């Protein structure tokens, strides 16, 4: 198990990018914009209007500055407003991330390790709160249309704060549905997430947003109600 931990540490930036991607998708899906043309912002507005739950599949790659794929994975994501989500990553490094309304649980199956995070203390806690306050997105990001690709019309989001580690986000919309998120960090890493089979307002079981650390797993961070 020790060798697996050391190997995982050789992938700098990947965990930060995963965390940003999880929380950013929750934030951008809640954006309510005011443009008139059929732009990416308007498509997002139509998708977000009345959104209560979400289910989608995704594929994710992390690309280094020299263009090489540093990490790849695929899985599913579930979202329930205002503050619950679940990401399941498959592949060589399976991982489960659950926000239960109080804390964020990150379970690394390979390392048998659970990390507990307070949403209010994470770098992207403000975007997470936009599930209930979408107008605040304009305060956190500079937002502009940047054209389109073959697969999507694109919105660019640049954080107004100079302290964050992520320089730019691109959100792609196609047919009033999110299909692409690109994250570029200050170290030159680029994460691309492509969504498919996106479903709005589907019935989701409560247990999707519950998590109990498996027996024998190492737990890092304060458990709810402790201390």
135 HSE (CA, 13 A, CB side) = 1
d(CA 18, CA 115): 14
The answer on pLDDT for 19 being more than 80 is: no
Average of per-residue pLDDT values in the chain? 78
* Closest among 187, 184, 185, 188 to 171, alpha carbons compared: 184
Q: What is the pLDDT of residue 71?
A: 87
What is 2-220's CATH number? 2.50.20.10
Q: What is the DSSP letter of 95?
A: E
Domain ranges of the chain: 2-220
Indicate the pLDDT class of residue 132, thresholds 50, 70 and 90. Answer: very low
H helix and E strand count, the chain: 5, 12
pLDDT digit string, tens, across residues 85-112: 899 999 888 999 999 989 999 999 999 9
The answer on pLDDT for 14 being more than 60 is: no
d(CA 196, CA 132): 25
pLDDT digit string, tens, across residues 38-85: 788 888 878 888 889 989 999 999 999 898 998 899 999 998 988 888
Q: What is the pLDDT of residue 96?
A: 95
The answer on pLDDT for 4 being more than 50 is: no
Q: What is the pLDDT of residue 128?
A: 37
d(CA 118, CA 218): 18
pTM (whole model) above 0.85: no
Indicate the pLDDT class of residue 121, thresholds 50, 70 and 90. Answer: low
Which H/E stretch holds residue 10?
none
pLDDT digit string, tens, across residues 168-186: 888 888 988 889 888 888 7
């Amino acid at each position: 198990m020790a060798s697996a931990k050391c190997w995982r540490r050789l992938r700098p930036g990947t965990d930060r990018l995963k965390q940003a991607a999880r929380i950013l998708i929750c934030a951008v899906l809640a954006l309510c914009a005011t443009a008139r043309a059929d732009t990416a912002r308007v498509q997002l507005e139509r998708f977000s209007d009345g959104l209560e739950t979400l289910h989608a599949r995704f594929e994710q790659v992390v690309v280094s500055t020299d263009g090489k794929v540093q990490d790849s994975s695929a899985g599913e994501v579930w979202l329930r407003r205002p503050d619950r989500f679940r990401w399941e990553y498959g592949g060589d490094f399976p991982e489960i991330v659950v926000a239960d309304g109080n804390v964020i649980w990150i379970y690394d199956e390979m390392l048998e390790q659970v990390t507990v995070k307070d949403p209010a203390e994470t770098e992207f806690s403000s975007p997470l709160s936009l599930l209930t306050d979408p107008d605040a997105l304009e305060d956190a990001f500079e937002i502009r249309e940047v054209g389109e690709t073959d697969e999507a019309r694109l919105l660019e989001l640049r954080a107004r704060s100079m302290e964050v580690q992520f320089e730019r986000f691109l959100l792609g919309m196609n047919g009033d549905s999110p299909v692409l998120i690109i994250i570029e960090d200050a170290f030159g890493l680029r994460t691309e997430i492509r969504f498919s089979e996106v479903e709005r307002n589907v019935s989701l079981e409560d247990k999707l947003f519950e998590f109990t650390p498996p027996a024998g797993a190492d737990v890092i961070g304060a458990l709810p109600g402790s201390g």
